[in-house]
A = this chain, B = another copy of it.
Amino acid sequence: MTAPPSLAGSPDTQATAAYRRLRAEILDGRLAPGQRLKVQDLAALCGAGPSPVREALAQLAAEGLARRIEQRGFRVADADPAGLAGLVRSRCLVEAAALREAIARGDAAWEDAVAAAERRLARLPRSLDPTRYVTNPAWEAAHRGFHQALLAACAAPPLLAFCERLRDEAERYRAQANAVAWPGRDVAAEHAAIAEAALDRDADRAAALLAEHLNATGEFVRRALERRAATPAARRRPTARLAAE
């Protein structure tokens, strides 16, 4: 029971700490798409030297969250409509395939987990404030958990990891969109319908509903992105300095 050197948790090395931090900032849009990532600035931000930061950036670039330009540093990956379209199409195809597989292979435990995740998600409010959108971390976690539970019975770890990665990237787009508007859609009903079809073992219906769900979110984000592009970049407010190169 003595706690000699390091017992619990993560003694998190500087490199992974920087990785986590930068990843989070990119995902929620605090580091805007296209923005330049100067090593020294980030090093100062993370309170670390340049080496761990470069390591983190290399990792992020490999995951597609950043772009490396040889001899010219790193930038946050862009989030343009073309990228969104490819992302949504990928998600529809891949998640539908994974869901079909999960439905084919899922056992009783999988059914229970799906049902439980659905109920847990349904109980939580999407936004912390009923009148306008305020991110609810608990809902986000439950949402992720639901989609994960749906596919969990699919015995193909690389595929599931890929789904996770695409979900991450989608979150980045959503963060852009939520700055502008939020959906009036009844997402809870969509989730319930997907869960029901999956538990009925109706692969075609479940896959179609899931694809529709993803497409609807994509369409919403596309509109928001469009509207955002139309608005002249917040008429030179100092706050825009973050986004400016």
Residues of A bordering B, CB below 8 Å:
10-13, 15-16, 51, 54-56, 58-59, 61-64, 70-71, 85-87, 89-90, 93-94, 96-98, 101, 154-159, 161-162, 166, 169
Closest residue of chain B to A86 (Cβ to Cβ) is B157
Q: Considering the chains assembled together, what is the distance between the CA atoms of A98 and B63 in angstroms?
A: 20
For A63, the chain B residues whose CB sits under 8 A away are 62
Q: How far, in whole Å, are A63 and B56 apart by their CA atoms in the complex?
A: 13
Across the interface, A58 reaches (CB within 8 A) one of B55, B94, B96, B159, namely B55
CB-CB nearest in chain B for A68: B16
8 contacts between A and B (CB under 8 A): A12-B70, A13-B70, A56-B58, A62-B63, A90-B157, A90-B162, A93-B101, A97-B97
Of all chain B residues, the one with the shortest Cβ separation from A19 is: B58
- Residue contact A86 to B51, C-beta cutoff 8 Å: no
For A71, the chain B residues whose CB sits under 8 A away are 11, 13
**Residues in B whose Cβ lies below 8 Å from that of A98:** 93
A195 to B64, CA, bound (A): 31
- Give A156 to B90 CA distance when docked, in angstroms: 5
CB atoms of A16 and B59 under 8 A apart: no
A86 & B16 in contact (Cβ 8 Å cutoff): no
Chain B residues in 8 Å Cβ range of A158: 64, 86-87, 90, 166, 169
Q: Which of A16, A56, A64, A90 has the most chain B CB within a 10 Å cutoff?
A: A90
* Inter-chain contact A70/B156, CB cutoff 8 Å: no
* Contact assessment for B155 and A85 in the assembled complex, using a CB-CB cutoff below 8 Å: yes
Given contacts A55-B58, A58-B56, contact A90 B159 (CB under 8 A): yes
Docked complex Cα distance between A75 and B166 (Å) = 26
